Structure 1
Amino acid sequence: MRNPRLHALAARWLGLGLATVVAVVTFVLGVTGRLTLYISPDTVWFACAAAVVMLVVAVWSCTLPLGAEGDHDHDHGAVGADAGSLRRRMLQTAGVVTGGVLASAVVLAALVLPPASLSTQLAMSRAGESPVLFAGADDVTLGVADTTTFGVGDWASAFATATRPESYDGASVTLTGFVTPGEGDTTGLTRMIITHCVIDAQPATVPVGGVADEYATGQWVEVTGTVRADADGTLRIEPTAVKKVAEPKDPYEY
């Protein structure tokens, strides 16, 4: 015989309780500016607004008597249950419990683990999964972009798609990213590029010459230098200054 009150408490926790905790975590991350570690800044306001609505609903739901969620089920439960319905109910209960345990683990991880940016290992593992086409790529192709506003993602797109690489020769750059292994005598300067959220994050990398093996993989650096076009049309950055920096508050580009 199941305990109705315990069942009602479990049902409310698996539904409203978990959703409320997620809403609180989302709102706190948004207020502290750390939600951009997971989603694009353009969608932070929407996520925070949704969290506020969820909290309002949670407060309102507290006025409902415990177990009200299951009133509809009880109306039909009096008819009795044969072996098939019992088996179905057991499977449903097992599914709810399993889902609740997994959801609770996710929420607990969100509460215990500090927000962190995507790792260097993930960036390296995703390298080469898709063409290097990021924001500003159309302007780069047309040759009308203002390169003074370029980030790592824009330059990575320019380096990969430029039909007249000599047009970028001599451009001044100041870029911030983390170090990844490069090709030949170059070192990669990498930044994760996000369109909507961290699920679609992809690495963008530009080659920097003259600093091979001087910085550990994953070290954040600021590179000041000049874009150079080699004889074969390959573009690279020739640095005039490289300095170690702390990971930026917002480590992604969009």
Structure 2
Amino acid sequence: MSSSEQGPAYLGLGSVLAVALGTLWLALVGHLDLYINPRYDLFTTVLAAVAVPASVAGLVAVARGHGHAHDGVGHAHDDGPAHARDDAADSSYEDGSDAARAVRRAAPTAARVTRRVLGVAAAVVTVGITAAMLVLPPTTLSARTAQQRSVDTPTLSNATGTQDVALLGSEGVDTSEYGVKDWAALIRQTTDTTALVGKPVELSGFVVPGADGSFTLTRFVISCCAVDAQPVGLGVVTDGAVPDADRWVRVTGKLAANPDQSAEARIVVRAASVRVIDQPTDPYEY
């Protein structure tokens, strides 16, 4: 294998090894759910467990291939004095300049330097990614991300699934266990929201600041992984101070008509209390 082929091989296998080790660590400490939907935990862990020995074997194979290539070069140089004289004669015939001979001598040295640089780069990538995943604390998606992904627009319904809205709004259904996603689906998919006014709610989420005296109580809904996470939220109107962005709060209150008639969302939560809480161990909805 040539040095130009070894470089990508080292980098690729090193990256696979780093990501696999980081994934296994996240699974071990219980943080894998911050990155993927829990239903994929077992599948992802098994793949990572397979990838570790496979990538190590690949790195060993690449290194051995490099060693065999060097052996071949060494044997080629031991062909004997006659061959050496013939080669020298041919070289002199083709180009007898000292500069040309210096370039030919420098080529193997440049190849060795390139291989070493690429090997060091692969090691740095592997160690760096692994160390970052082990040392840096995992974080959840933020209020800024929610704003970038349009938490306060009607597109929220895209993340709420296909549940029967009519059933959700019926009087015989217990709504005490509804989360932010459920209420967001109900409000944004129901044509007549007047029946929802006055319904009690108790919800937790993080704060995305809004206009005066209001904020959006937000959760991220994950279908596969954090990359496709879609924010869902409910507008909250409070007479008290609005908590800082990204603070997790528990809101107790009732659904009410949105005082901002120009807003897309027709229903908001009129908060009776807004209490700051710790981020839950499982901050996402699915």
Q: TM-score, normalised by structure 1?
A: 0.73
Partner in structure 2 of residue 204 of structure 1: 232
User: 1:187–1:211: 8 Å Cα contact kept in structure 2?
Assistant: no
Q: Distance in 1 between matches of 2:11 and 2:285?
A: 36
- Give the 3 Å change call, closer, same or farther, for CA 209–12 of structure 1 in structure 2: same
How many residues align? The count is 238
Q: 1:242 corresponds to which letter in structure 2? A: V
Partner residue in 2 for 1:153: 181
Report SS of the residue matched to 1:204.
strand
Question: Which residue of structure 2 lines up, in the alignment, with residue 182 of structure 1?
Answer: 210
Residue aligned with 1:26, SS: helix
Q: Distance in 1 between matches of 2:258 and 2:58?
A: 68
- Separation in structure 1 between the aligned mates of residue 59 and residue 209 of structure 2, nearest angstrom: 58
- 1:54 deviates by 1.8
Match of 2:199 in 1: 171
Q: Who is 1:81 aligned against?
A: none
**CA contact 1:135–1:154 (8 Å) conserved in 2:** no
Point out the structure with the larger helix share.
2
Give the TM-score normalised by the residue count of structure 2.
Answer: 0.66
Q: Find 2:43's aligned residue among 43, 46, 70.
A: 46
The superposition leaves residues 217-245 of structure 1 with CA deviations (integer Å, 9 ceiling, x where unpaired) of: 22110112222235868211122332110
Return the match for 1:224 from 244, 252, 275.
252
* Aligned position for 1:127: 150
Contact 2:10 2:62 in 1 (8 A): no
SS in 1 for 2:176: helix
* Per-residue Cα deviation, 1:5-27 (whole angstroms, up to 9, x for no partner): xx97x777534443233222111
| Pairing 1:114–2:137 present | yes
Unaligned runs of 5+ in 1: 79-85
Residue pairs, 1:239-250, within 5 angstroms:
239-250=271-282
Q: Please, which runs of 5 or more residues in structure 2 have no aligned partner? A: 77-106
TM-fit CA distance, 1:111:
3.5
Q: In structure 2, what is the equivalent of residue 67 of structure 1?
A: 63
For residue 253 of structure 1, what is the aligned residue in structure 2? 285
Alpha-carbon distance in structure 2 between the residues aligned to 1:180 and 1:193:
15
Q: Deviations over 1:99-148 (max 9, x none)?
A: 848954544432342211112222222225871125555335x3112533
Indicate conservation of the 8 Å contact 2:213/2:238, yes or no: yes
Pairwise CA RMSD of aligned residues? 4.1
Q: Decide whether aligned partners of structure 1 residues 68 and 185 sit closer, same or farther in structure 2, where only a CA change above 3 A counts.
A: same
Q: What percentage of residue pairs aligned between the two structures are identical?
A: 30
Partner of 1:83: none
